[in-house]
Chains A and B, each alone.
Chain A
Amino acid sequence: MSDPVNFVANWLKTVFTNWGVSPTWTTIIISIIGVVVLAGVALVIDIFLVWVERKVVARFQDRLGPNRLGPFGLFQPIADVIKLLLKEDITPDKADKFLFNLAPVLALGMAIALWAVVPLAPTVIGSDLNVGVLYIVAIGSISTLGIIIAGWASNNKFALVGAFRMVAQMISYEIPMVISLLIPVILAGSMGINSIVKSQPVWYIVLAPVAALIFLISSQAELGRAPFDISEAESEIVAGFHIEYTGMKFGLFYAGELLHALTIGGFFSCFFLGGWRGWGAETYPILGIVYFFIKAFFMYWVIMWIKYTFPRIRIDQMLNLNWKFLTPLALAALIMTALLDKIFQNASSVVYIIVMLGGNLVLLYIAYLVTGIYARVERKKVASPEDNRVNFPIKSGANIVETQSSERVQA
């Protein structure tokens, strides 16, 4: 009874075999059941993520959040879903009808499809692909593609500008994200996510904190959440890509974003926090599921914390941060990890851990120093009168104008 999922799967297999179903069809039918259950669970979690999101943002902003419907307002998301289902669905006349409807389907559908490779427990995994990392990158960017399609198909200038910004963001953050994923692949020697989790008696966040940091920042950008939410900047382009969407179509975008955020949290926990690893998870896989979701929700909370703490950054700041900071840092971390791991692979594990952690910390400190010098040079450039692009005289440092994101949380 320690592994209920596989118990049920094996029981179903026996039942089908006794009915005389051929083994091929048994596999297909069990796969279909597994997919439907997994996608259903993901959707149910998704509905309650709306509650989690609203409750947590309320706490960040010193409010109470939904607390009327049911205990702790737990029925609020269900009411929201019913409301969204009953709303009239408006498609603008000028929009490209097919793409307009395809975009929300991609945004949510691909966020669900990502769960196919998430190892929930040592034995509970939809599909242990040997190219899992590439699958994540590919499918994750299709979800972002939904946003771009939405902006284009709406035939609305604000939406189009939002889509353009999203493209800029996507082409920038894909690079550091993939490079930072190379580091766990090097350390584990495999692209399969379950084998990456299995090879983490020491969590990779200890061995490669720089890669973890880069992955966190760049996946935040891929999600298009604040501080990288320039594609839906309310104060500039109304709502960006989803300005024309109403009712459940808007709801799909919203749900897709939340589920994608939790999925990113799950992947972060798989790559850097040891996924399902924990006390007794090998013998009792059901404990692994618990550990996995605790870690995933912790990372989801961190992502929300970042979202509601930082103001939105401009597009040029975003490109600078990516190409001039994250990409070189990721490449440096990759080189350093490859070299240190090869040289110290036969050392005792304590020495190995200290060397890897120390190398990463030194790298972070160097990056901090270099950015400081670079920022001082740039600030001087802006402050000196002949280089000054702005016509009126300004004091040094006074050119930083940032718009505070005051996002209205909708459901």
Chain B
Amino acid sequence: MQTDWLYIGIMLVVAPTFAILALIIPRILAPHKPSKLKSETYECGIQTVGDTWVQFKAQYYNFALIFLIFDVEIVFLFPWAIAYRQLPLFGVIEGILFILILVAGLIYAWKKGLLEWS
């Protein structure tokens, strides 16, 4: 068990290191002649107008809210799925009721028009 997580821990260090190596090698090999023109923002050829990091309307924030609810509830379903083999039919039906409540939420959001792109 601990060995398993040790392997994951090492992997999460080594894998980005490989990628970082691929960024360091060009530092040594590649030419480096920065100029003001070169390091400007490339949008369409002429100079860029206005800031980029402004308040931006994410039209899908309703979807993001529904996503949060669903994601949390699905994490609750994983213990049920693992215990499934030991559960009697009644336990399975209880789990299904939980899913149906989830479906009711989805239908409610749908009827309210939250799933329409505007």
Contacts and interface: CB of A to CB of B under 8 A. Distances in A.
Interface of A: 27-28, 31-32, 34-36, 38-40, 43, 84-94, 101, 104-106, 108-110, 112-113, 116-117, 126-130, 133-135, 154-158, 160, 164, 167-168, 171-172, 174-175, 178-179, 182, 185-186, 189-191, 238, 243-244, 247-249, 251-252, 315-316, 319-320, 323-324, 327-328, 331, 334-335, 338-339, 341-343
Interface of B: 1, 3-8, 10-12, 14-20, 22-23, 25-27, 29-34, 36, 38-44, 48, 52-53, 56, 58, 60, 63-64, 66-67, 70-71, 74, 77-78, 81-82, 84-85, 87, 89, 92, 95-96, 99-100, 102-103, 106, 110, 115, 117
A393 B78 CA distance: 51
Given A39-B18, A110-B15, A157-B43, A32 B10 contact: yes
A243 B100 CA distance: 44
A247 B82 CA distance: 46
Contacts of B52: 94, 155-157, 160
A112 B15 contact: yes
A164 to B, nearest CB: 6
Contacts of A167: 58, 60, 64
A197 to B, nearest CB: 16
B6 A338 contact: no
Contacts of A89: 23, 26-27, 30, 32
A155 B41 contact: yes
A129 B5 CA distance: 8
B56 to A, nearest CB: 7
B19 A108 contact: yes
A101 B56 CA distance: 24
B19 A316 contact: no
Given A116-B11, A127-B7, A185 B81 contact: yes
A47 to B, nearest CB: 11
Contacts of A160: 52-53, 56
Contact of B82 (A94, A117, A185): A185
A324 B115 contact: yes
A327 B106 contact: yes
Leading 4 A-B pairs by shortest Cβ distance:
A316-B117, A109-B16, A127-B7, A112-B15
Contacts of B81: 182, 185-186
A243 B42 contact: yes
7 contacts: A85-B30, A87-B30, A92-B39, A108-B18, A154-B41, A238-B44, A248-B25
A339 B92 contact: yes
Given A39-B14, A89-B27, 20 more contacts: A31-B7, A39-B15, A40-B18, A88-B30, A94-B41, A101-B23, A108-B15, A129-B4, A155-B41, A157-B48, A160-B56, A168-B60, A182-B81, A252-B23, A315-B117, A319-B117, A323-B66, A327-B106, A328-B103, A331-B99
B31 to A, nearest CB: 5
Contacts of A178: 71, 74
A361 to B, nearest CB: 21
Contacts of B23: 89, 101, 104-105, 248-249, 252
A90 B30 CA distance: 11
Nearest to A243: B42
A218 to B, nearest CB: 13
Contacts of B39: 90-93
Contacts of A93: 36, 39-40
Given A155-B52, A338-B92, A342-B89, A116 B29 contact: no
A335 B42 contact: no
Contacts of B31: 88
A31 B15 contact: no
Nearest to A168: B60
A154 to B, nearest CB: 8
Contact of B102 (A40, A158, A331, A343): A331
